[in-house]
Amino acid sequence: MVIEDRRDTRHWSGSAAIVGVGYRVSRETEKPPTPLRLILEACVDALRDAGVEREKVQALFATRAPVADQHPQFNVKIGTELGLTTRFSTEVTQHAAGTIASLKYAMLAVNSGIVDYALCCGGDTSNLWIQGTRRVGATAFHDSDPQFETPYGPSMIGIYAQHAIRYMHEYGATEEHFARVAVEHRRWAVAHPQAVMRSKGLITVKDVLASPMIAYPIRLFECSPRLPQGSAGALLVTRAEIAREICERPIYILGVGECSTNEYASDRLSLLGTRSFERPTYTESGLTLAATDAYDMAGLGPKDLDVVQCVSNFSSIFLTVIEDLGLCARGEAAAFVETGGIDFESGLPVNTNGGHLGFGHPGPSMNMDSLVEGVRQLQRRAVGKQVEGARVCLVHGTGAPLLGCNAVAILGTERPN
Amino acid sequence: MSATEFGGYRSGGFVEWDRRFVGLHDPPGDTTEFWDGIERGVLMIKRCGACGITLHPRRLVCRRCMSMELGWTQASGRGRLYSFSTILRPPHEEWADRVPYTIGMVELAEGPYLFSEILCDTTALSVGLELELEVVVAPHGRLAKFRPTR
């Protein structure tokens, strides 16, 4: 990939911080909540956590409308219920990647002089959107092209499986490598009280390879479960000067980047001729560009990361994710995983809530789950295994099939000099 | 039903299943030539009137020169398998009695990539497999599928 037009954005690094967090996970034992209710609970919690009255919150950045609700301009619906009089409000949607990208919008907003506080929020409930999917008769739902893909019966898994085939073809990775990714994620999940796969216990590579094939070469244990039945999060962001005054432990936004390249899988392979992609490919994505922007703003590189929360909705795509993030060289993710690169005890702490494979994937709010986990680790408020001495965490969110949309945030406990 | 009749666009909320999948949530006005081609048993793709490159039938702007003067051209119907997956658990009951079936991305001889179903014994599947078009009458209309070159 050609990376050009790199800019000096260092002055933004640490200019804003997260000063309040709210987070709700809905368990299957509860009556299923609506996504709106879940999001509102998270928002109220975030304002209480920060000790900031709602009158001060003038910016609202909501992630895309929940799949389970589909009401357009969901940001207005949220703001209305919260009783906000927003002066700067929008949905941030690069599909679900907007969850992470909203931190960038918040950072720019609170440093613009227009507002002091920005609330970033989003959530979804899987039980309701699965019902909706069945009604439509769609397959991969919003994520397959209604004319050129849906008629052939693709499942979301079948679309990601095509990446897996290419990854094996191009880099010689094996089904054992994919299985190992699932094994390590499960170990983090077992250590996390909110992870849905915790109760299923530890698994081995052999267990994964023995689980039923869903869409060759992806097996059941290599797919993220459509649980918990709902989750929502909210983060209150303000500029660094205010954050230092009102918050004991602000989490600074050190770097942010986003990149969207395609709506559907077919579109990804139409990128031929665009400058960054000299050849169409499934095994490299715009995440490379998003990560480069975030690292450049932060003045940091992959070696500086203490914790990483990234996309793992299927075990195979995880390999391209960690390559795009620069955690290992291109084509070497399988070897990286095989030699203990993401080992629960000794590797880089990646997806400390179990990731999408282990924590679950309650719809587009899976990126919010990653974001809240990253913030909790830095606040030393982890509810699972706390990574000792974690000072810098990278969070990656995606949306659209095969990493079509990506956003990256690098968060830290200290403001750069 | 002619290809141009299908899939009236209805905005907002969930749309009940229509007579066929194509057109769901999606105004088909820009792609009627493709679907009319399928009715005739041929594969129509886009060609840039300014620079001449061929493009996916969905494209409205040339990926090379940004021209919007895109016309239609008949493709050979030949291509190679870029990637594939065999579906064993169907995404919806509509496909329940069809598993296992294989979906894949076909690199057309003319350049563009087309998502399709690959009509093939699963043991014969491999990246690079030579393919040719086969128009199949499906429950909801004709579809462009591919099978190994005979």
Please judge whether B28 and A147 are an interchain contact, meaning their C-beta atoms are less than 8 angstroms apart. Answer: yes
pLDDT tens profile A39-85: 999 999 999 999 999 999 999 999 998 888 878 899 999 999 999 99
Helix (H) or strand (E) holding B135: strand B130-138
Helix (H) or strand (E) holding A109: helix A98-110
Which of B88, B110, B119 to probe the A interface (max A CBs under 10 A)? Answer: B88
C-beta of residue A215 within 8 angstroms of C-beta of residue B85:
yes
DSSP assignment of A258-306: EEE--SSHHHHTT-TTSTT-SS--SSS-THHHHHHHHHHHHT--GGG-S
List, in order of start, the domains of chain A with CATH numbers.
10-131 (3.40.47.10)
The conformation of residue A31, written as its DSSP 8-state character, comes to P
Residues 28-57 of B with CB under 8 A from A: 28, 31, 53, 55-57
Closest Cβ–Cβ partner in A154, A216, A273 for B63: A273
Q: How confident is the model at residue B13 (pLDDT cuts 50, 70, 90)?
A: very low
Longest dimension (CA), chain B: 46
Contacts of A149 (CB under 8 A, 6+ apart): A140, A159, A264, A265, A266, B115
pLDDT tens profile B104-135: 999 999 999 999 999 999 999 999 999 999 99
Residue with tokens 């702007």: B61
Nearest CA in chain B to A283: B83
Beta-bridge partner residues of A350:
A308
Which of A141, A148, A222 to probe the B interface (max B CBs under 10 A)? Answer: A148
pLDDT tens profile B30-47: 888 998 899 899 999 999
Inter-axis angle of helices A315-324 and A287-298, to 10 degrees? 40
Looking at chain A, the whole-number percentage of residues with pLDDT higher than 90 is 82
Residues 129-148 of B with CB under 8 A from A: 138, 140, 143, 145
C-beta of residue A119 within 8 angstroms of C-beta of residue A61:
yes
Average pLDDT over residues A104-121: 98
Which of B33, B47, B115 to probe the A interface (max A CBs under 10 A)? Answer: B115
pLDDT tens profile A216-264: 999 999 999 988 999 999 999 999 999 999 999 999 999 999 999 999 9
Q: How confident is the model at residue B94 (pLDDT cuts 50, 70, 90)?
A: confident
Does pLDDT of B138 surpass 80?
no
Left if phi > 0, otherwise alpha if psi is -120 to 50, otherwise beta: which for A311? Answer: beta
Task: Note the pTM of the prediction, 2 decimals.
Answer: 0.94
Other Cβ atoms within 10 Å of A56 Cβ, number: 15
Say what the alpha-carbon torsion angle A56, A111, A302, A193 is, to the nearest 10 degrees: 0
